Amino acid sequence: MSETTTPAPPAVPAPAPVVLHEAYEISADPDRLDAARVHHWLSTDSYWAGGRPREKQDRAIAGSLNFGAYHRDTGEIAAYARVVTDYATFAWLCDVYVDRPARGTGLGTALVTAVRDHLEPYGLRRIMLATADAHGVYEKVGFTPLQNPDKWMALGQH
């Protein structure tokens, strides 16, 4: 009778700050995240999370890998992205938001690039997202429309 052991999952280290934009530093350091500001942005100025309660947003943050883009001079958060992942096969990129004054500067593309690059060493089979209006941002980073959308299903079509 042989004993089989399941290897422990690899530790998921917090990445060092990455600067991919001249004015902003992108980091997944949870201690830097301004959860109140993220909640305000998403609950009042996004089409996908309008009215989301703070408690629900805080639970989403707690169960996710979160990225912030911080102004290099002031440290103030200017953009946010959240990733739900198992660090082995799959990730869902969601809640990507760039503060209105920072839009049009390339910050959204830099943020999504930082997320993609952070996840790359895990060898995920697929990173998914949904967008109604930012296809161009994601295409710059390598995202493409689903090849076989008829294979995908969802529960809760909201």
Tens-digit pLDDT profile for residues 32-64: 999 999 999 999 999 999 999 999 999 999 999
Percent of the chain with pLDDT strictly greater than 70: 87
For residues 76 and 70, give the distance between their C-alpha atoms in angstroms, rounded to a whole number: 5
Instruction: Pick 1 or 135 by higher pLDDT.
Output: 135
Pick from 11-20, 37-46, 108-117: least confident? 11-20
Instruction: Pick 116 or 22 by higher pLDDT.
Output: 116
Is pLDDT at 16 greater than 80 in this prediction?
A: no
Average pLDDT rounded to a whole number, residues 124-134: 94
Average pLDDT rounded to a whole number, residues 95-119: 96
Average pLDDT rounded to a whole number, residues 134-140: 93
Cα distances (Å, whole numbers) of residue 139 to 39, 134, 145: 26, 9, 9
Angle at 115 between CA 109 and CA 120, to 5 degrees: 120
pLDDT (0 to 100) of residue 21: 79
Is pLDDT at 7 greater than 60 in this prediction?
A: no
Residue with tokens 């934009």: 21
